[in-house]
Each structure stands twice: as C-alpha cells, then as structure tokens.
Structure 1
Amino acid sequence: MIHNNNFWNATVEELSNGYAFDKNTDSYVCLLCNEHFEDGIIYPSDGILYEAKKAVIQHIKQEHDSVFDYLIHLDKKYTGLTDHQKELLTLFYQGLTDKEIVQEQNGGSPSTIRSHRFNLKEKEKRAKVFLTLMNLLNKEVYQESDHKFVPFHKGAKMVDDRYAITEAEKKKTLSTYFKDGLDGQLDKFPSKEKRKLIVLQNIITHFELHKVYSEKEINQILEPVYHDFVTVRRYLIEYGFMERNRDGTAYWVKN
C-alpha cells in the first residue's frame, strides 16, 4: 500500500524515473519508498561513490529492481489493470514479439495479442484525456483552499475514504472539537473515523520530528490536551502518527 505523498504528487515523468527533487529538503527522493538523498552528499554503494542524483538511481535498481516492476505489482485499485493485462504489459516490456508471447502463454494467436496491444493503447489515450481533465479541474476549482484535500500523514494505515478530507471539513471539525483554539484543550474525542483522524492530525503537531520521547514525556504533552491521554496516545500509534519501540520506552513521530 502506498502512503507516500511524494508519489501521488509526482508528475508522470518523475514517476517514470522513480525519483523527484524535493526543494524543501534539497534532496532527491525515491518515490517508491520515500528515501532521501541530500544534494551535495556523497553516497557509497558497492565500493563506488555516487552523488545524490546517481545514488537515488542506484538505490532504485538495487532495492526495487525497476520502476516498471514496482508499479506493475501494485494493487488493481491503484493501476486499474487486470492480472491478464499486467501479464501482457510485462511481456511487452520485455520486448517479446506477438508470436513469442503466444508461445510464452501456450495458447492464443498473434492477432489476439495485437488486439490487446491496440486496446491498451486506447486505454492510454483515455488516461491522457482524464489526466488533462483533472489538471484543468485542479487549476480552476481545487486551487481554492476549501476544496483542496488534506494530505494524509506518511504513516497512514488502511488508507480509504476516511482520508478524503477537504480543507473545509478540517476547519469545521477542528473548530468543533477545539473550541478554545488549536493549541487549546480537546472538548471531546470524536467517535467518527474521519473526525478522529483530523483531531489526531492536529494533536501530532505538539510533537517534534526527529525527537525521541519517553512515555512520561508523551503523557505530559498529551494530558493538557485531553484528560484521557492514554487513549490518545494509543490512537497516535494505531493510526500511524507515531511509532514506539517494543518495550514502550521510546516514542517518535513517524516521518
């Protein structure tokens, strides 16, 4: 399952490369696993030293085989492809002729394979039109902040419709549950999943990235926010906002 916002925000060209340059961190980011390679740093691999851009390319080869291999194995809900279409695309990617594919599949005919090639090209055309329509929609409508979807955290688990949260929904929910302001006390903990995620997303801002907390420190930060801080702490872990070690002595924000 993909929880990587960089992946979804990347262009088609960036996805094809498997990496993108993140100006905020001045680093090249693997879109497949979100590993960063800071520009200006030299990275060793198999006895060879690589600059950041070449290092991320080498990383993709070593860890993911290829971008095609990674994408073709994604779930159907991400690709829209049937198993048969995935198999055919893999064979096309390997450069096999229609006749060779028939032999590989032990059946069919070259004309059937040609028909599949044609249908996939038609699918590509429809995808281009759809991407253009969505691009225009994003420019004309979703650029307004209230229509924008709130990006979910990188550790998000079981991503589904709960994460389809607009800025307008977020504002309304936060004003309902944090009546004294976002830095104030939580009035009550919501029962609905979407509202729960919005509330937790705000609470996690009380913690610093790259800092390790003890359980006592976690409790001290959460207690002024909500009286049942144990429940909040559990949900922060359960929903992937934070991680902890096995014995519960160390907690940190999942980045």
Structure 2
Amino acid sequence: MELSDLFWNASLQELKQGYILKSGSYICLLCGERIENGVIYQHESIFYEAQRYMRVHIEMEHGSVFNYLIHLDKKLTGLTDHQNHLLGLFYQGKNDKDIQQEAGIGSTSTIRHHRFALKEKERQAKIFLAMMELLKEKDQHAPAFVSPHKTAKMIDSRYDITQEEQADIISKFFPDGTDGRLKRFPPKEKQRLAVLREIANRLEAEKVYDERNLNQILKEMFDDYATIRRYLIEYGFIDRHPDGSEYWLKK
C-alpha cells in the first residue's frame, strides 16, 4: 500500500500521532519511515522502545505532526493562507494581543472572531465526517477512488479516478505489465496522472538520484525520459535541487 493510501485511510487519532502500527512495524504517515516493533533504538546515548522512538523520529525529522500538516497544500487542508498563518500562531501559544501586534490585524476582537470562525469550521467538519461515515454504511454504489498523493500541487478533476480506471489505464499504456516499458505518453491529463503514479512507484523512497542516474532509470521505461522527468516534477511526485544535480521522491 502506498504511503498516500496509509495517510488518507488513517483514523483521526492516527493522523494526530503521525504513525500507525502495521505488520509489526510503526510506520510514519508523514514520510514512510518504518520502526520495527520490539526492537530497542538508540539516539544520543538514550535507548527507546519502538513506539517512543517513532515519536522521536517525528520530532527530529518533521518538528511535529502539526508542523507537517500545516505546510500541506491548501487544496488538501481547505485553509486560506490567512487561516493557515493564524493557526500557526495559535499553536505557538501566543495570546490574542501578541498575535494582533505580530500579524498587524485590527484588534484583539478581530483575532477572537477568527478563533470563532475556526471553531465553526471544526464543528462543520465533525458533522461532515459523521455524515460520510454513515453514508459508507448505506452507499453500495460508491466507487473506490485512488487517493491523491500527499505532495500533489493541485487537486482537480484529474484526480477523479477510480481504482478500476487506474488499472485499465496502466494495462493500456504498460501492455507488458507494470515492470515493462511505457507504450506511449498519454495525451489526456487523467491518464498522465495514472501513468506518472506508476512510474513514481518504481523509484526508491529514501534514495537521492543524480540527474544521470534518474535519466537512465526513466529511459528504461520510455525513450523521452526528459518529458517523464518534467511531468513527475510538475505533478509533485519528485523534487530536485535548483541546479538539477539531485532528485528524490517527495513525501
């Protein structure tokens, strides 16, 4: 199962803690790091059991789960830039007067209004989640959608794709199987997304590739490797240094 699937299928409590226990390992929902349960891990001369070490990992690598989530694209969080900024200030424990001065907002009553608006958004979210959970029990015709990858730069109609559609597209453009070569680069956006997701799955999550190495891997899948590389970046599957010297899968 892809990391994005684990992320989107996690419960609220699992999202809050930032990890899940699966197949004998604690898996970080933010980056995919696996910590084997039952093993003792050492960090800076201190020994930790696996679950506690996963919390140490999240703190070291991500700062906090809140810090990670608040930096997700606003298409995923549903927050405006202004709301996002205020949430960050609230999380820092600052009072309304300090926030008013730092953000340059009219008055402390304005800050309180924003707090109220966010609480209202929370109440609406709880009701919506409850409705969706109840809907799952009744809606027998709901298609199984493919979860968008967490690093997507824009969530739009291209991501309206079911698991069945994904399988059909992969079968069409990889006629020799998922280990084979790409027959041709898809002309349609939704098809491109499905194909690029499959190509990204062939790259190693923790590996940093130099340009020559990445080009060679992509060329084994498709002759026009430069187009594949460009779209992998455009769709948010991979990232790179500004000089193009190194590439890696985004998490």
Q: TM-score range by the shorter chain?
A: 0.5 to 0.7
Secondary structure of the residue aligned to 1:230 is coil
- Which residue identity does 1:16 align to in structure 2? K
Question: Which residue in 2 is equivalent to 1:194?
Answer: 190
Which structure 2 residues correspond to residues 136-147 of structure 1 after superposition, within 5 A? 136-141=134-139, 147=143
Identity %: 48
Q: Assess if the C-alpha contact under 8 Å between 1:142 and 1:148 holds in 2.
A: no
Question: Which residue in 1 is equivalent to 2:64?
Answer: 66
Which structure 2 residues correspond to residues 19-38 of structure 1 after superposition, within 5 A? 19-24=18-23, 26-38=24-36
Deviations 1:140-178 (A, max 9, x none): 33775xx10134678x76564434320332354456567
State the alpha-carbon separation in 2 of the partners of residues 182 and 65 from structure 1.
36
Q: Assess if the C-alpha contact under 8 Å between 1:41 and 1:52 holds in 2.
A: yes
Q: Assess if the C-alpha contact under 8 Å between 1:28 and 1:39 holds in 2.
A: yes
> What is the deviation of 1:6?
2.3
State the alpha-carbon separation in 1 of the partners of residues 177 and 71 from structure 2.
45
Q: Assess if the C-alpha contact under 8 Å between 1:16 and 1:67 holds in 2.
A: yes
- Which residue identity does 2:81 align to in structure 1? D
Secondary structure of the residue aligned to 1:21 is strand
Which structure 2 residues correspond to residues 1-255 of structure 1 after superposition, within 5 A? 4-17=4-17, 19-24=18-23, 26-105=24-103, 108-141=106-139, 147-151=143-147, 158=153, 160-161=155-156, 162-173=158-169, 190-198=186-194, 229-231=222-224, 235=228, 239=232
Secondary structure of the residue aligned to 1:4 is helix
User: In terms of Rg, which structure is larger?
Assistant: 1
Change (3 A) 1:158 1:48: same
For structure 1, which segment, 176-185 or 72-81, has the greater mean C-alpha deviation from structure 2 after superposition? 176-185
Secondary structure of the residue aligned to 1:68 is helix
Question: Which residue in 2 is equivalent to 1:225?
Answer: none
Runs of at least 5 residues in structure 2 that lack an aligned partner in the other structure = 207-212, 239-248
Runs of at least 5 residues in structure 1 that lack an aligned partner in the other structure = 223-228, 243-252
Question: Which residue in 1 is equivalent to 2:244?
Answer: none
For structure 1, which segment, 96-105 or 34-43, has the greater mean C-alpha deviation from structure 2 after superposition? 96-105
For structure 1, which segment, 201-210 or 76-85, has the greater mean C-alpha deviation from structure 2 after superposition? 201-210
* TM-score, structure 2 normalization: 0.67
Change (3 A) 1:95 1:198: closer
For structure 1, which segment, 96-105 or 74-83, has the greater mean C-alpha deviation from structure 2 after superposition? 96-105
Over aligned residue pairs, what C-alpha RMSD do you find?
4.6
- Which residue identity does 1:108 align to in structure 2? G
> What is the deviation of 1:37?
0.9
Say how many residue pairs are matched.
238
Q: Assess if the C-alpha contact under 8 Å between 2:37 and 2:50 holds in 1.
A: yes
State the alpha-carbon separation in 2 of the partners of residues 109 and 204 from structure 1.
48
Deviations 1:67-110 (A, max 9, x none): 22222233322222223323322332233333343344455333
